[in-house]
């Protein structure tokens, strides 16, 4: 039997700043419709792939819940099998929690509620889409620049006319090279509200001399006002000059010092590492993904600073943990740390000379070892040669499957694999596939338990097979594993976009009603 913890006891841990992670074992769809404030989405079928990064200390307190679907207890056992030593179920699940605490919809709610709180306390300035459109198209040539604080991939999909891609944490570092004149109006935009607010306030807090304003409601507001967006733009921030770097350091260091953000030398860093068996520690590199891939310090994960503030729960799940940030230019780490500190995290910045950047390549993922039993996998060549003898079942997230899958493959909901497989004919062997093969192997035993013929997994996953198509998708269940964000992409309905803005604007009231955030917005 797995021990249980009441919702009241869990909320008391949050208020006290104790270490605890709350994992929602359901798929992202139901998670996005209702969850406690500090809950982190960790679908049952993806535990091995994601848990070690979200909760790196195996002795940390882990709480798991569902809403009566029956996956929480199985998820708890799966976490215990992965090595976690202090796992509990939320007593009564989501139904019991709603009796004592607020339930929130959408995703990355902690960061979004914080952004709204920042605007309400700091009175972050903003301009409407119509006002900015007039500035952009002013025949006299208004002295203004538009800086897009989103990820470059989002910027490429759609952007405000004339905008330059300057992802969040880069703003305070790059602004002096982009707008060298103090008379230039600096406008910061994102898709909705949060990154615009935080980006604008970051520049104000760094004491730049320019007037700064957010594009109110981002590209959503722009679209709702009937204005046209650009597509496929490639304008990116320039290389940093020595003078701009010095000015950025001055502003971000002063702000971090006011907030009590520590900078760790090599000795202090080693002391923090030595304590990681007793205190959960996250090591995050806030530079761009390209810089990280070129070289990074061992043990650090890539977490670009703007996205880390916007979606902290995608990297960090254990409330009460300690975060150490790295940036060879310092300013991005200092700016990011200033926000994480106000979000309630103990955060420090690593001095650039405290470690050596010796590793290369993309961000690694820690996970339990995958034990591959003899005969449990099939090679891409064998599957291609004998495809008509198998039925291929894809466990990718549904948007990934929709974008490209092995021809003829069925999609199954990983959380309901046993149910979905029971609808298939029993005279063919099942081949489970997933993008890199990991999720397929993690869930192979579940498939084998219901398959008349022993199921196998595709070695190397879909990426090793190579041939994919977006045509003729075949769904074994209703895809509810992913939340369609109303602020991403170009095919969102006006009603969905307006509803999203309306939801964001009420977050401060809901935050106050819930009372567990422990935020401290500093003027």
Query: pLDDT for 45-56, tens place per residue?
Result: 999 999 999 999
Mean pLDDT of the chain: 96
State residue 2's pLDDT score: 95
228 to 160, 220, 225: CA distances (angstroms):
8, 11, 9
State residue 370's pLDDT score: 85
Identify the burial level of 451 via C-beta atoms within 10 angstroms of its C-beta, where 0-12 means exposed, 13-18 middle and 19 or more buried: buried
173 is written with which tokens? 């570092």
The β-bridge partners of 393 are 410, 432
pLDDT bracket for residue 300 (50, 70, 90): very high
pLDDT bracket for residue 141 (50, 70, 90): low
Res 223 pLDDT > 90: yes
CA distance 434 to 462: 6
Question: Closest by alpha carbon to 155, among 191, 130, 186, 127?
Answer: 191
Average pLDDT of 81-106?
98
State residue 491's pLDDT score: 83
Pairing of strands 87-90, 144-148: unpaired
> Is 238 or 1 the better-scoring residue by pLDDT?
238
Please say whether the beta carbons of 383 and 458 come within 8 A.
Answer: yes
Tokens 């909760």 belong to which residue? 55
State residue 140's pLDDT score: 57
Res 212 pLDDT > 80: yes
Q: Which residues contact 301 (CB under 8 A, 6 or more apart)?
A: 53, 282, 283, 284, 285, 315, 363, 364
Across 230-333, the runs of DSSP E, i.e. the strands, are 262-264, 281-285, 301-302, 322-326
Average pLDDT of 384-388?
93
State residue 137's pLDDT score: 84
Res 291 pLDDT > 80: yes
Across 162-216, the runs of DSSP E, i.e. the strands, are 164-165, 185-189, 212-215
Q: Judge if pTM exceeds 0.85.
A: yes
Average pLDDT of 374-395?
95
> Tens digits of per-residue pLDDT, 415-443?
999 999 999 988 899 999 999 999 999 99
CA 309 to chain centre: 9
Phi, psi of 252 (to 5 degrees): -75, -35
Question: Closest by alpha carbon to 244, among 349, 171, 188?
Answer: 171
Q: 357-392: b or e for each residue (b if 16 or more CB lie within 10 Å)?
A: beeeeebeeebeeeeeeeebbbebebbeeeeeebbb
pLDDT bracket for residue 183 (50, 70, 90): very high
Average pLDDT of 385-403?
96
The β-bridge partners of 359 are 296
State residue 364's pLDDT score: 81
Average pLDDT of 347-353?
97
Res 400 pLDDT > 90: yes
DSSP string, 423-458: TS-TTSEEEEE-SSSHHHHHTHHHHHHH-SS--EEE
Give percent of the chain above pLDDT 90.
93
């Amino acid at each position: 039997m797995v021990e249980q913890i009441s919702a009241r006891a869990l909320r008391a841990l949050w208020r006290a700043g104790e270490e605890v992670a709350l994992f929602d074992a359901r798929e992202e769809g139901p998670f996005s419709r209702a969850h406690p404030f500090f809950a982190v989405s960790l679908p049952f079928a993806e535990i091995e792939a994601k848990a070690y990064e979200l909760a790196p200390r195996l002795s940390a307190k882990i709480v798991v819940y569902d809403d009566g679907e029956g996956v929480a207890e199985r998820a708890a056992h799966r976490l215990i099998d992965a090595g976690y030593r202090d796992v509990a179920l939320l007593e009564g699940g989501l139904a019991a929690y709603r009796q004592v605490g607020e339930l929130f919809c959408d995703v990355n709610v902690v960061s979004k509620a914080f952004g709204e709180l920042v605007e309400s306390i700091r009175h972050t300035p903003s301009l409407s889409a119509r006002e900015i459109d007039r500035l952009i198209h002013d025949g006299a040539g208004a002295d203004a620049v538009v800086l897009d604080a989103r990820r470059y991939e989002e910027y490429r999909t759609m952007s405000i006319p004339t905008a330059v891609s300057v992802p969040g944490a880069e703003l305070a570092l790059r602004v002096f090279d982009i707008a060298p004149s103090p008379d230039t109006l600096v406008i910061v935009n994102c898709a909705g509200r949060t990154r615009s607010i935080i980006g604008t306030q970051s520049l104000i807090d760094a004491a730049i001399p320019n007037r700064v304003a957010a594009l109110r409601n981002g590209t959503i507001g722009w679209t709702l006002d009937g204005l046209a967006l650009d597509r496929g733009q490639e304008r990116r921030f320039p290389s940093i000059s020595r003078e701009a770097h010095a000015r950025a350091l001055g502003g971000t260091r002063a702000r971090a010092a006011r907030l009590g953000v520590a900078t760790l030398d090599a000795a202090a860093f080693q002391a923090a590492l030595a304590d990681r068996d007793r205190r959960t520690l996250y090591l995050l590199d806030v530079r761009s993904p390209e810089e990280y891939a070129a070289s990074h310090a061992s043990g650090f994960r890539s977490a670009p600073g703007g996205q880390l503030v916007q979606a902290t729960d995608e990297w960090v799940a254990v409330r009460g943990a300690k975060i150490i940030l790295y940036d060879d230019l310092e300013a991005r780490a200092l700016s990011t740390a200033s926000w994480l500190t106000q979000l309630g995290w103990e955060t420090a910045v690593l001095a650039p000379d405290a470690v050596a950047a010796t590793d290369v390549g993309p961000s690694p993922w820690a996970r339990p070892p995958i034990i591959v039993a003899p005969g449990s996998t099939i090679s891409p060549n064998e599957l291609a040669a004998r495809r008509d003898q198998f039925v291929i079942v894809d466990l990718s997230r549904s948007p990934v499957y929709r974008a490209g899958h092995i021809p003829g493959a069925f999609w199954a909901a990983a959380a309901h694999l046993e149910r979905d497989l029971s609808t298939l004919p029993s005279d063919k062997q099942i081949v489970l596939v997933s993008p890199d093969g990991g999720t397929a192997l993690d869930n192979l035993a579940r498939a084998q338990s219901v398959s008349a013929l022993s199921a196998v997994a595709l070695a190397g996953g879909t990426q090793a097979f190579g041939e994919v198509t977006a045509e003729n998708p075949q769904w074994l269940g209703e895809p509810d594993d992913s939340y369609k964000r109303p602020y991403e992409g170009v095919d969102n309905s006006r009603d969905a976009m307006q509803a999203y803005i309306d939801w964001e604007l009420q977050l401060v009231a809901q935050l106050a009603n819930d009372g567990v955030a422990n935020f401290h917005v500093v003027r």
